[in-house]
């Protein structure tokens, strides 16, 4: 990360120590993609690799993003299929099981 956390981003991390949060990219992705404004999202894309953010949406988005945010970011990145875990069980777009 090339920049320190701005005050606006720190407000998204109200429940954690901002010093440790700056080291946790998953937490930053989750909070900013769910609740960030355009400046916070711009900061995220300037300081983290776009492929890493896309991978987060595809592999962890079902569990860590709300439905509206997940739908938006899937559309933004052009993600059609979500990650299938090693058990072969696929999670649907909103967490429902698809293998029954």
Residue 94 lies in a domain: no
**Structural domains of the chain, count:** 1
Quote the domain boundaries for residue 33: 7-77
Decide: helix, strand or coil at residue 34.
Answer: helix
| 20-34, 50-64, 83-97: which is most confident | 50-64
Q: Of 32, 26, 30, 25, which Cα lies nearest the Cα of 8? A: 32
Q: pTM for the full model?
A: 0.73
Give the count of beta carbons closer than 10 Å to the beta carbon of residue 44.
Answer: 20
- Whether residue 97 lies inside any domain: the answer is no
Q: pLDDT-based confidence at 21, cuts 50/70/90?
A: low
Residue pLDDT, tens place only, 28-80: 999 999 999 999 999 999 999 999 999 999 999 999 999 999 999 999 999 98
Cα Rg of the chain (Å, integer): 14
In a domain, 64, yes or no: yes
């Amino acid at each position: 990360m090339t920049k320190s956390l701005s005050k606006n981003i720190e407000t998204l991390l109200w429940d954690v120590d901002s010093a440790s949060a700056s080291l946790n990219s998953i937490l930053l992705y989750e909070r900013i993609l769910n609740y960030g404004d355009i400046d916070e999202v711009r900061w995220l894309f300037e300081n983290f690799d776009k492929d890493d953010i896309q991978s987060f949406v595809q592999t962890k988005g079902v569990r860590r993003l709300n439905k509206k945010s997940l739908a938006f970011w899937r559309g933004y990145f052009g993600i059609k299929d979500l990650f299938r875990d090693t058990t072969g069980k696929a999670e649907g777009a909103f967490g429902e099981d698809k293998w029954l």
